[in-house]
A and B are shown apart, each in its own frame.
Chain A
């Protein structure tokens, strides 16, 4: 299992998100591409070590890009992989409704985790209100993005796996 591909994808996702934010002056209605990668990682790889490692690195990079204290998004991404991996054994996320559910629920859970982590570790009580205004736009956007991004990420992963098998990767 490669860790590099999800990390590179996570980096691209963060760059893409930042670019979209800057180019279109978006605030609330900016899609959280890094969460998309982490959710895909959790569902496609389950509780594999590579999934946790890649998610943690993506979380750390997110901290760097966002400017949050190092570890906040590491915890969020790791917990997301744990929870989504747990659900992936019971829910078929590969169907369209499954992907919509993954996007919607993933967004809600990721925001909830962020609030919880900040409250527990940083003692921030006001973050709930700030994140609250993001719930609807982020959830809608992730529900829209996930059905499109999921198959693309799957194909990229399959392509990278084939290259590794033939010794190119």
Chain B
């Protein structure tokens, strides 16, 4: 490097003068280039000379930029994807809840139909919270609002499709229901068409919900699909509730009774809401006031 300032000697000055002369010469050359390169030949030549390097560097820069932009875009996409997945999860949850509510609504409407049809009964809604894990003992567990009147052991439990069973035990708001398909259950019933009476006793089978009709006379010929109704004479189940329908009729045997199997119309495996029958309401089934013969005469 050439030292500057006062230390510059004669030789240095001479070099500087030569440099200035070269500089001035370059200025002249430059001026002439700019002024007289009309065909832009020099410009084209210079451009052509640097073109490969220019293109390579441009490509390199653009590649880096593209990579950077892609990375940023991917980062954005990843974040967006995460947000969308969260949103999808939330919406799926909401959709499931909505569907659940819709189903519950339909079930409750269905349940209310029973209330409308049987205004002669005081009913209390209850929710099924558990089912027996035993295939032999058919039990449901309910939660009941007990604050609105007495719920007692032995009360009938019904669903819109028919009789479910009876309350076997009660602890606070929790009740255990003995299903009509439990072998310990017995319901006084009547065949809808033949009006023949029998006792429906739970079969306790482990592969289906069913009950057998006991004490059905051999003279009676039940029809498959015939409905079996409660008589109301056992003092537990109100009259006229559907217990099930005939599914099997045994071959005539020696002896006084015919073996017949019925299937409940309600499916205990899918029940979610039921009614507990608290007792008679004092009204007729259609909601009209019940009047005794004496009151009618008056």
Contact = CB atoms under 8 A, between A and B. Distances in A.
B62 A49 contact: no
Contact of A71 (B1, B4, B17, B34): B34
A70 B35 CA distance: 10
B169 interface: no
B33 A71 contact: yes
A105 interface: no
A117 interface: yes
A166 interface: no
A15 B53 contact: yes
Contacts of B43: 63, 68-70
B16 interface: yes
A64 B47 contact: yes
A67 B35 CA distance: 16
Contacts of A22: 57-58, 60-62, 64-65
B40 A23 contact: no
A88 interface: yes
Interface stretch (B19-27, B157-165, B182-190, B252-260): B19-27
B34 A75 contact: yes
B82 interface: no
Interface string A141-161: 000000000000010011001
A61 interface: yes
A65 B34 contact: no
A47 B16 contact: yes
Interface in A107-165: 117, 121-122, 154, 157-158, 161
**Secondary structure class of chain A's binding surface, majority of residues:** helix
Nearest to B15: A48
Contacts, number: 132
A81 interface: yes
A144 B117 CA distance: 91
B290 interface: no
B51 to A, nearest CB: 8
Contacts of B18: 49
Nearest to A161: B1
Q: How large is the interface on B (under 10, 10 to 19, 20 to 34, 35 or more residues)?
A: 35 or more
Interface string A67-100: 1111110110011011001001100000000000
Contact of B23 (A78, A89, A121, A161): A78
Interface residues of A, number: 49
Contact of A117 (B1, B20, B34): B34
Contact of B2 (A45, A71, A78, A154): A45
B61 A69 contact: no
A37 B31 CA distance: 22
B47 A74 contact: no
Nearest to B53: A15
B47 A71 contact: no
Contacts of A69: 33-34, 37, 40, 43
Contact of B29 (A11, A23, A74, A89): A74
Q: Which 6 A-B pairs have the closest CB atoms?
A: A22-B61, A71-B33, A64-B50, A71-B34, A47-B19, A74-B30
Interface of A: 1, 11, 15, 18-25, 44-49, 51-53, 56, 59-61, 63-65, 67-72, 74-75, 78-79, 81-82, 85, 88-89, 117, 121-122, 154, 157-158, 161
12 contacts: A45-B1, A49-B15, A52-B19, A64-B47, A69-B43, A70-B42, A78-B27, A81-B23, A82-B23, A85-B19, A121-B34, A122-B34
Given A22-B61, A56-B30, A69-B43, 20 more contacts: A15-B57, A23-B61, A46-B19, A47-B15, A47-B23, A52-B23, A56-B29, A63-B46, A67-B47, A69-B40, A70-B45, A71-B29, A71-B37, A72-B30, A74-B30, A75-B27, A75-B31, A75-B34, A78-B27, A78-B30
